[in-house]
Amino acid sequence: MFFKKLNCYELFMRRILHADMDAFFAAIEQQRHPELKGKPLVIGDSGDPRKMDLVSTASYEARKFGIYFKMPLKTARELCPHAVFLPADHKEYEKVSKRIKDILGKFCPIMEDAGIDEAFLDISRIDKPVEEIAREIKKMILNETGISCSIGIAPNKLLAKMAWINFLKNLGSLRVDISTRRRGE
């Protein structure tokens, strides 16, 4: 049984946390190759901008040049000729992903895997302010893997995932943490 049956009040007060790693593949490569930190970095299947491969992840430094997910590597090179292009190392990304899921699962066992770099946690039963929980999770993941993440918290999964959207900033009653939320990939 995933969730204990909740009464109406508890359902309304549910707190779902969505954790999403920031520029995940690029962040892992920047951890492995510290000389790439702070530089525009583009990860594609082959990493060869002469081929028709698409961008898997662009570092935030590369995004400033207009490079985004699924853009042809060729176009990315036109936009930012000095960017570093690397092939995707899915084996390594899976390994780091598993470590992060283990950290999240230990923090809160009611976890739903939502992809290689994201997960939902039902933190309704954790008796701490949401900001504190978000801070703790971000710190744990950063300390143990060097990867930073964005956290959204809301009464349901959809809103938690959408927490980076600006208009939600005004819905303070949803207790959405948008402090570091940025659009990821």
Provide the minimum distance between the beta carbon of 100 and Mg ion in the complex, in angstroms, as a whole number.
11
Q: Around 72, how many Cα atoms within 13 Å sit in the side-chain half-sphere? A: 6
Provide the minimum distance between the beta carbon of 125 and Mg ion in the complex, in angstroms, as a whole number.
26
Smaller CB separation from Mg ion, 24 or 85: 24
Closest by CA position to 175, among listed 165, 166, 11, 159 = 159
Provide the minimum distance between the beta carbon of 101 and Mg ion in the complex, in angstroms, as a whole number.
14
Classify residue 23 as left (phi > 0), alpha (psi -120 to 50) or beta: left
The residue annotated as part of the active site, out of 10, 94, 112, 118, is: 118
Smaller CB separation from Mg ion, 20 or 53: 20
132 is a catalytic site residue: no
Cα separation of 172 and 161, whole Å? 16
Smaller CB separation from Mg ion, 124 or 163: 163
| C-alpha 178: how far from chain center | 13
Smaller CB separation from Mg ion, 68 or 74: 68
Provide the minimum distance between the beta carbon of 106 and Mg ion in the complex, in angstroms, as a whole number.
21
Q: Check if the beta carbon of residue 15 is closer than 8 Å to that of residue 156.
A: no
Q: Which two tokens stand for residue 113?
A: 């895997």
Positions in the binding site for Mg ion (CB under 5 A): 20-21, 117, 184
Q: Check if the beta carbon of residue 57 is closer than 8 Å to that of residue 25.
A: yes
Residues 6+ positions from 157 with CB-CB distance below 8 Å: 16, 18, 112, 120
Residue nearest to Mg ion (CB): 184
Q: Which residues are catalytic?
A: 118
